Amino acid sequence: MEVVTDLKKCPWCGEENAGVMSKLVQEEVSKGNMGEGSIGGIATNVYVAINPLKPPIAGGRTRAVRAYVDICTKCGRDYNFRVETGWAILPTRPGVAPTFA
């Protein structure tokens, strides 16, 4: 896994450490309820690179991107604050999301 983007401020308004969930996770880390390096966001999206003309085998691996989304407490817009590249293991059953590894 490689971190492509790790924003510390909102790209829309420039507010430092403005993410709603990021603030909550930082509070829990300081209390000792969560481990150091925990990442919080309102959503995590995994995008996979699949050729629709030649789909990969179920259970196989393909290149993927994972994006963490949070909401700014100042301007209220959501933004991707962390983007990682890596591999995704494709599900063997329909309707199941790929597993990012």
**Element containing residue 21 per DSSP (H, E):** helix 20-31
| Phi, psi angle pair for 20, to nearest 5° | -60, -55
* Average pLDDT, 10 consecutive residues per value, the chain (101 residues): 93 91 92 91 90 85 94 94 95 88 83
- The two beta strands, 99-100 and 78-89, are antiparallel
Q: Where are the domains of the chain?
A: 2-100
pTM of structure = 0.84
The span from the CA of 83 to the CA of 35, in Å, is: 20
